[in-house]
Amino acid sequence: MLKARGFPRLRSGQAMLKGIEDKIKSYLRANKKYAIKLLSNLIEIPTINPPGENYEKMVDFLEGECIKLGLAVRKYVTPKQVLDKYGVKGGSKRISLVADLDEGYRKTFHINFHYDVVPATDKWKTDPFRAMVKDGRIYGRGSEDMKGTIASALFALKALNECSINPKINIQLSFTPDEEIGGRTGLGYLVGKGLVKADYAMSEGYSGNYISVGNKGVLWAEIEVIGKSAHGSMPYKGVNSFERMNMLVDELEKLKNKILKRKTRYNMRDAISKNATFVMGGFLEGGVKINVVPGIAKFSIDRRLIPEENIGAAKKEIKAVINKFNKRCKDSKVNIRFVSQGSPAISKRDDAFFKTAADSIKATIGRKANFSVMPGATDMRYFMWKGIPSLGYSASGGEKWHSDNEFVYIDSLVDTANVYALIIKRLNSQNKSYSFCELTGKNCYGRKGYKNIRGKGA
């Protein structure tokens, strides 16, 4: 367990707190090689998803690191029937690792990490699965999304251990698979089965002086356009599914233009992200041979919902376009299959927890924290949907998530470790939700803070 060496009493409580926190920061700066080596080891276990490779090896490695920190560990394997339900096929067993520092406090602070990464292309300048340290950066697939944050959080716990600081709250970590394909067979399974505890929760999110407090909803659909194949020299004997697909896309484009005008009242880091989105063609399939009229064509829709929207209405408006199209073009058939969905998620507000996070960021980087909704979905939504106060904060790189030549800044690894260490140190199991007036006598976060997250007129 974390060492309990204690500190001598000082005359000034404030001076004592500052001294302790300065000690944490000094330790992290002096021992950053730990985080560099840990992240390098994580990168070099290629947990590529799909299909989900090397999960067992990753969990075994993380288990060893957690045991070194004195955490009690246990593993959970997602059952086959759950994998079948969500269409997860191939790859490793879906293993989650849960690690606890349970000192018998009333409340638990949970930090979640996903360890899977997306595939890498052949356009990388370096080997994506061999960490390269250069110019203050660590390159490698997953360095920013989100293995760098795993390294930072474990580094934070090591710093607290070495600085003889005992948290005043239970700590629970979870390392889960399959976030890159929706998380339902990873953290979603653990939360749904009650296998994890959380009074407060954190995971990946924004970086720097931004903290995420929610995310847009997501709706993925696969559209199948069925025509009739024929010889290319006699196209009049067939129905060209590719051409029908283009006609359908034109109709969906009208819906898209309507959707793009919808704007959330919630704060987002980038103003352009306030709009709902509708992307077609991320997946395309059709045709078998150059001289065959294509009988089937398929494409995808990636629909992102602002918090004011809901999944049911989003489905309904897409289906309406397709139903109208089928009535007009009776010699072809369009089918739709919704392959993944998740409602928009906004964290339950807990002023004490949010102030702790904001103050920890301010103490680390010297800038006021801003609370914002993210455009992309993270696994934090599984806690948010349960009404658990949840925030997202990550180590930063070039914001090249899922892109070639992904990297993370070494300085950010250290800063992020300091943020997590301060949050853990400052959180108290006796914390309860106070108003801003009770805490500070004013709105700590200013105009862009969480108090005003819904914006003017909300």
**pLDDT band, very low/low/confident/very high, at 400 (cuts 50, 70, 90):** confident
> Which residue from 218, 215, 184 is spatially nearest to 310, judged by alpha carbons?
218
The two structure tokens encoding residue 120: 């890498």
pLDDT tier at 399, thresholds 50, 70, 90: confident
**Residues 6 or more apart from 106 whose CB is under 8 A from it?**
429, 430
Q: Is the dihedral of CA 81, 86, 90, 96 positive or negative?
A: negative
| Mean pLDDT to the nearest integer, 200-207 | 97
**For residue 438, what pLDDT band results from cuts at 50, 70 and 90?**
very low
- 58-62, 252-256, 429-433: segment of lowest average pLDDT: 429-433
- CA 125/CA 116 separation, integer angstroms: 22
**Per-residue confidence at 453, pLDDT binned at 50, 70, 90?**
very low
pLDDT of residue 443: 36
- Whether 12 shows a pLDDT value over 90: the answer reads no
- For residue 448, pLDDT over 90 is answered with no
Partner residues linked to 212 by β-bridges: 372, 392
> For 292, how many CA atoms within 13 A lie in the half-sphere containing its CB?
11
**Mean pLDDT, rounded, for 359-380:** 96
% of the chain surpassing 90 pLDDT: 87
Output the pLDDT for position 104. Answer: 94
Sheet holding 132-134, edge to edge: 132-134, 137-139, 407-409
Question: Pick the residue with more confidence: 433 or 255?
Answer: 255
73, pLDDT greater than 70: yes
Mean of the pLDDT values across residues 164-191? 97
Q: 50 preceded by cis ω (within 30°)?
A: yes
Q: Distance (Å, rounded) from C-alpha 56 to C-alpha 25?
A: 34
Q: What is the pLDDT of residue 212?
A: 97
* Residue 175 near residue 115, CB atoms below 8 Å: yes
First to last CA, the chain: 46
- 296-305 β-sheet, strand order: 277-286, 296-305, 217-226, 333-342
Return the active site residues.
116, 179
- Residue 437: its pLDDT value, please? 32
Residue 183 is predicted with a pLDDT of 95
- Any idea where the domains of the chain sit in the sequence? 13-215+345-451, 217-342
Residue 276 has pLDDT above 60, yes or no: yes
269 in Cβ contact with 211 (< 8 Å):
no
Query: What whole-number distance in Å separates Cα of residue 404 and Cα of residue 128?
Result: 8
| 301 has a pLDDT exceeding 70 | yes
* pLDDT over 50 (residue 383): yes
d(CA 444, CA 352): 11
Residue 457 has pLDDT above 60, yes or no: no
Higher pLDDT, 363 or 432: 363
Q: Which pLDDT score is estimated for 395?
A: 98
Write the pLDDT tens digit of every residue in 218-267.
999 999 999 999 999 999 999 999 999 999 999 999 999 999 999 999 99
Mean pLDDT of 48-60: 98
C-beta separation of 436 from 449 below 8 A = no
Q: What is the pTM of this model?
A: 0.88
Fold (topology level) of 13-215+345-451? Aminopeptidase (3.40.630)
Q: How far apart are CA 306 and CA 456, in angstroms?
A: 17
The whole-chain average pLDDT of the chain stands at 91
Confidence of residue 361 (pLDDT cuts 50, 70, 90): very high
185, 210 Cβ separation under 8 angstroms: no
- How do strand 200-206 and strand 108-114 relate by DSSP bridges? parallel
Q: How far apart are CA 354 and CA 352, in angstroms?
A: 6
Q: Who has greater pLDDT, 364 or 436?
A: 364
pLDDT at 452 over 90: no
pLDDT at 429: 72
CATH 3.30.70.360 assigned to 217-342: yes
Residue written as token pair 């490779």: 53
Instruction: Supply 334's token pair.
Output: 């369009």
pLDDT at residue 288, rounded to an integer? 96
Span 277-296, pLDDT tens digits: 999 999 999 999 999 999 99
Cis peptide before 375 (omega within 30 of 0): no
Mean pLDDT of 44-64: 98
HSE-up of 372 (CA within 13 Å, CB side)? Answer: 21
Sign of CA dihedral 81, 82, 84, 89: negative
Strand partners, 346: 214
Mean pLDDT (whole number) for 155-169: 97
- Say what the pLDDT of residue 11 is: 44
